[in-house]
Structure 1
């Protein structure tokens, strides 16, 4: 039996602290993406996943980012209109489309990555290398323990 006392206030609730930290980090990064590349957070996340993974469907993007399909759809349309993402028919499934970064999209992605790494270094400078690695490990274990679910279930 644990001797720890349960959280008595929301501010002491670990999931709340994790959410607040995540929002603060995302907001800090999103500021830079907006200023330098005119990208919203959802748009950048989609570009980052496409940059890492290559060609994907919107459903796959929703699942990989754990974002609802409506904002993903909106962001994909915006990125396509800006010429950063190419949408093409999916030969395997006529109900979906394949998305990939265009040449311009890859160039923007390549320009953002150094900025993202610089911001990561600034934000996590309060932790030494061992603490950063421990944090990565802890976050991965908590995420795995949360289980698998479809991003579409988040909208309910």
Structure 2
């Protein structure tokens, strides 16, 4: 039997009783929703932002290298790459096949990335509002520690 809405939302016996895994999922969903809504106001979504933010201005990774970095299969980012290219935010160089094309940010892409980084910072400030500055720093440090240790076992961070 599922918990009632009142039980799930009550402060005495609601989310305080949740497992850490479920709490992480709820916070993740909240963070992604707030961030996606704010990014879409600028004509971009989270998948596009993830790609733009993964591109290093001094390197031009292949689609496969980018997909590996993002921990997805190359065909999963192909539609986003096409969209970003059509919007003039990236350019793809030639390779032996689509997966070996180099991918670079255009000047417009770098400008959009800067705008999006501000949008993401604003979103983070919104959903992390209950935390003090020190707690935010501690929270980030904890997430990094988990991500780094998990990367060894699950290839989640390149």
> Which TM-score band (shorter chain)?
0.7 to 0.9
Aligned to 2:66: 61
Shift of 1:84: 0.9
Q: Is the 8 A contact 2:64 2:74 kept in 1?
A: yes
Q: Counterparts of 1:45 and 1:112 in 2: how far apart (Å)?
A: 10
Partners in 2 of 1:129 and 1:67 — Cα distance?
A: 33
Of stretches 96-105 and 47-56 in structure 1, the one that deviates more from structure 2 is: 47-56
- With the length of structure 1 as denominator, give the TM-score of the two structures: 0.75
Moved more, 121-130 or 97-106: 121-130
Aligned match of 2:105: 101
Q: Which whole-Å CA distance do the structure 1 matches of 2:93 and 2:51 have between them?
A: 16
For the pair 1:46 / 2:51, whether they are aligned, the reply is yes
Q: Is the 8 A contact 2:85 2:91 kept in 1?
A: yes
1:58/1:98 contact within 8 Å kept: yes
CA RMSD between the two structures: 2.2
The runs of 4+ residues in structure 1 deviating greater than 3 Å are: 51-54, 147-151
Offset of 1:137 from its aligned partner? 1.5
**Offset of 1:32 from its aligned partner?**
1.3
Greater shift, 45-54 or 14-23, is seen at 45-54
Match of 2:83 in 1: 78
TM-score of the aligned structures, taking structure 2 as reference length: 0.74
- Relative distance call for 1:21 and 1:69 in structure 2 (3 A) is farther
Task: Name 1:25's counterpart in structure 2.
Answer: 31
Cα separation, 1, equivalents of 2:21 and 2:31: 15
Distance 1:22 1:52, change over 3 A: farther
Residue aligned with 1:86, SS? strand
Equivalent in the alignment of 1:146: 150
Instruction: Find out whether 1:16 has 2:22 as its counterpart.
Output: yes
